[in-house]
Chain A
């Protein structure tokens, strides 16, 4: 179950006027790169977990010809998404995907995995709904200094930074759920640009990390965040083909 607080993170991000592609580092350009890496083709069915106001959905649907379904926990974001796209949208959370087994060609998770309270449950579900040979396209925050991860987890607030793991942990988790890693790339430069743009528009990364308020001492938050040396990554992982070769195009 994604908590109310988590949902509010992205509602606020949206409400602050951060629309088009600066809702997240890398923007649509990064989405495209992942889609290319995964070798997705027009007509593939793609589930966007944590789709927010559907920026990626609309782009991939209209410009890449992908069949998109959006899933989000926030009614407010889905309402905004509804205004932006005609693609089917579902309200739900990553821990319980309302799709049958092996029914999805690819799952897109942009800056949403780090928000999942039960990452293992979510990965199980993703693995379940993906057809054999299907892809997981994931971009998210990660902690470049794994020693700082403990400090991050001790932070008392909801934000994507809190769920950030080190690179090895991310890769390990994904591999443990049966995925093969096709590519993993550091995109920390995108995070820097994102931060700069936030500041340009009058925000600050500090407010970004502490978005839900009641986060306690901003100095402590900033120190913990800096400790972990936040970076950004994009990853494409593949669910192995089943041995019978069924379901593989």
Chain B
């Protein structure tokens, strides 16, 4: 696992999928922006595929990646 798990996964144990009633599991999820895609580890519902992105990740690491890709 990458060293920054806490940031990426956040407090995923506090959330469960309301759709399926099951806890989330870490698995490989494909993310993309501006035509560049790659797999990353994220918390995800094993049944319906609902993904969890915590606020710190969205406004932190994800924003960094978006800016990196925007700057080409």
Residues of A within 8 A of B (CB): 17, 22, 189, 192-197, 199-202, 204-205
Contact = CB atoms under 8 A, between A and B. Distances in A.
Contacts of A204: 64, 68
Contacts, number: 42
A199 B68 contact: yes
A199 B38 CA distance: 12
Contacts of B35: 189, 192
B21 interface: no
A204 B2 CA distance: 15
9 contacts: A192-B69, A192-B72, A193-B36, A195-B68, A196-B33, A196-B36, A197-B38, A200-B64, A202-B3
A244 to B, nearest CB: 48
A189 B35 CA distance: 8
Nearest to B40: A200
A58 to B, nearest CB: 19
A192 B2 contact: no
B36 A189 contact: yes
B58 interface: no
A169 to B, nearest CB: 23
Contacts of A192: 35-36, 69, 72
Contacts of A17: 2-3
Interface string B1-44: 01110000000000000000000000000000101111010000
Given A189-B35, A193-B38, A200 B3 contact: no
A200 B36 contact: no
Contacts of A189: 35-36
A99 to B, nearest CB: 36
A202 B38 contact: no
**Which of B3, B36, B40, B72 neighbours the largest number of chain A CB atoms within 10 Å of its CB?**
B36
Contacts of A194: 38
Contacts of B2: 17, 201-202
Nearest to A229: B72
A2 B56 CA distance: 42
Contacts of B47: none
Nearest to B7: A202
Nearest to A16: B3
B3 to A, nearest CB: 6
Closest 6 CB pairs of A and B: A192-B36, A193-B36, A193-B38, A199-B68, A199-B65, A197-B38
A52 to B, nearest CB: 19
Given A196-B33, A196-B36, A202 B68 contact: no
